[in-house]
């Protein structure tokens, strides 16, 4: 159970930090609610929703392998989102 709780916290923290970074970059550049920034925030929210649904799936054969795949997906998606945030500046 603690593993699942930690994974959910990681998902929340990582994607929350990315959303916060979008707002910081936009504020620093003086362009609030840019289309690119909104796309990144929307993608982060969609990723969050999809990953939480996957974590909460109960009918998987190998739970440990499934959760490792969710963690790998989080890393891949977060890396792509960070690259998009870096392009904002």
Per-residue pLDDT tens for 14-50? 999 999 999 999 999 888 878 999 999 999 999 999 9
Answer for the pair 18, 82: CB distance below 8 angstroms, yes or no: yes
Token reading at 48: 């969050």
Instruction: With a cut of 60, say whether residue 13 has pLDDT above it.
Output: yes
Burial tier of 50 (Cβ tally within 10 Å: 0-12, 13-18, 19+):
middle
Give the pLDDT confidence score for residue 88 in this predicted structure. 86
Are 54 and 4 in contact by the 8 Å Cβ rule? The answer is no
What does CATH list as the number for 2-88? 1.20.5
Domain definitions of the chain by residue range: 2-88
Residues 6 or more apart whose Cβ sits within 8 Å of residue 1: none
- For residue range 44-73, list pLDDT tens digits in order: 999 999 999 999 998 999 989 999 999 999
Query: pTM for this structure?
Result: 0.90
Task: Output the pLDDT for position 31.
Answer: 82
Q: Which residue has the tokens 């990723």?
A: 47
């Amino acid at each position: 159970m603690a593993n699942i709780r930690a994974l959910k916290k990681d998902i929340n923290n990582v994607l929350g930090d990315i959303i916060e970074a979008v707002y910081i970059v936009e504020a620093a550049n003086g362009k609030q609610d840019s289309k690119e920034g909104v796309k990144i925030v929307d993608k982060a929210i969609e990723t969050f929703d999809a990953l939480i649904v996957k974590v909460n799936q109960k009918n998987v054969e190998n739970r440990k392998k499934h959760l490792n795949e969710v963690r790998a997906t989080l890393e891949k998606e977060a890396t792509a989102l960070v690259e998009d945030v870096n392009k904002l500046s």
